[in-house]
Structure 1
Amino acid sequence: MSESRKPAEEYVVIRHRPGYRLRRTLILLTFSISAAVVGYVAGMAQGGFRFSTAEESRDRLEEQVDQLRDQNRKASQQLVNLERGRSIDAQALNQARRTIVDLETQIASLKADLTFYKNIMAPSETSKGLQVDRLAMQSARQEGVYNFKLVLTQVGDNKSYISGVVAVNVIGIRNNEKEVIALRDLSDDIDDLGVKFRFRYFQDIEGVLRVPDGFEPLELQVVARAEGSKSSQAERTFDWDELTEN
């Protein structure tokens, strides 16, 4: 009686691809981040300047921050797990680190916007009414040329519009003497000494500024005046070096 033969053992060969699972995870994570950012930008395009109301803006931003925090936590844990492994290619690891940095940058940006809207809706007692909220300057990759963005806000009482004019002057030195130049004389985007504004929550004033030869800017002074029943004035002076250090 012949002995029964055991079935032959089978072996399956699996190709070893270092970093494959990480790259697949990063692709899915990047897709999720892109979807969140697209949703955020799409929301900004609805109504008014960016959103239909400041309340909706605040709620959307809070939701976006929570989502990005969750994604950042998962990405950080994935990175820790992979760093403990033995077979990780450097390219995949670097990509994971860059993804986490991008997430943290997006979270910081959204938190700044969220704070902006919260301040409009729930201001302190000392910061109500017309405000010169912020001024941003960015080099246009051409010597002496900058993109600028001035943001005015109405804090607290947003039930009605506020209107008036805002004047911007650049204070500096030329030929060892102090000189004040109106923004109108430095930017083709500004036609008048006083730029008109009218808004409920906030308004952006943007354009390109060109510094003349031989002029050394020191400060940028903003004076906004509201007219009518909400008559008021807001002033703020910005240090030029701090504005342009980035």
Structure 2
Amino acid sequence: MAVRTHLPWPWRAAILAALVVLVAGMWWWGFDFGQIFGGFNRKAIESRLATAEADAARHAQASAALRQANSALETELAMTRGVQAALAKQVAELTQENQQVREELAFLQKLVADASRQVGVSIPRLDVEKGPDDTWHYRILVVRGGSPREDFEGHLAVAATLAMPSDDGSPGRQTTLSLPDDQPDAAGALKLRFKYYQRIEGTLRIPPGARVRSLTVRAYESGASAPRATRTLALS
């Protein structure tokens, strides 16, 4: 008759649990070891994945910094182009102003030189050019020679000879447009009050399709019926 040692059930449970843990550990170690020998290392892959994620984050930051720098450069370039355009405009304006100053200086020098030789009122300059729509812009210069003591007071009268359009395209009839009679609002601009010279500028409003053939300007002194100076400009 054989005698068997009887273990209490807690000891059996503990031994069974230890065996289960041992078997599971050996299985997991064998699985991980097999992966390493088989060419698959989980830890290495996880390390590489972490490195790749860090590189991707670093590249994303660098890309964002480059985009921000590019945007700043584009803004600076736009500002530089704006400054260059503004400077070019200022240079053009200064060049034009310089030319106007030169012309003004030459005119004043000529005016001073002629003052001693010429006595009385004259109209040395008369220009007219086509403007927008049915308008013509005129410029008049009235000069007084000698050594006057008092201002000259009077007004200008402008007479424009117009060629009216015809239905068949041939030269139409001619008519005269007088300022300020036909355009009373021009009376203020045609008044004269000066000692040595005065510039007058204004606009003719003519009928649609008409053209200015000639322009005659007369300078009247206040209270006089006869003009003190007359100048006519013929246009082709």
TM-score (norm 1): 0.47
Bigger radius of gyration: 2
Q: Which has the higher helix share?
A: 2
Normalised by the size of structure 2, how large is the TM-score?
Answer: 0.48
